[in-house]
Amino acid sequence: MLLMAQIVTGLVLLVHVYIVLLETVLFRTRGRRVFGLSKEKADIVQPAMSNQGCYNGFLVAALAIGFLHPQAAVASAFTTFGLACVAVAGLWGAVTVKRTILFIQTVPALLALLLYRL
């Protein structure tokens, strides 16, 4: 189960790298299209999206440290923290923004957490 947990966690990490890029450096092009925003609306929300992208970058960092830290206990703590944060953020996004966020963020993060515990 550990291998499956690591694979799912890696997918969560990669999805969040993509989200960071969409919300920051790609926001005015690809990000605007993915989020379905007009140019005018994108101009208004761009600073908030960039800030949100920064926070998603911290989630990426926590999960990356979980993969890379040489001490198993520290790596596990970062992975658990990162996945729990992704799950909560996804739940909040599903409630406040779009329901599909639940399936893009929360479900995979909870699945990874469950697989680590089996």
In terms of residue numbers, what domain contains 8?
2-117
> 80: helix, coil or strand?
helix
Number of domains in the chain: 1
C-alpha R_g of the chain: 15
Tell me the pLDDT tens digit for each residue of 48-94: 999 999 999 999 999 999 999 999 999 999 999 999 999 999 999 99
Q: Which residue has the tokens 């001490």?
A: 71
Tell me the pLDDT tens digit for each residue of 15-55: 999 999 999 999 999 999 999 999 999 999 999 999 999 99
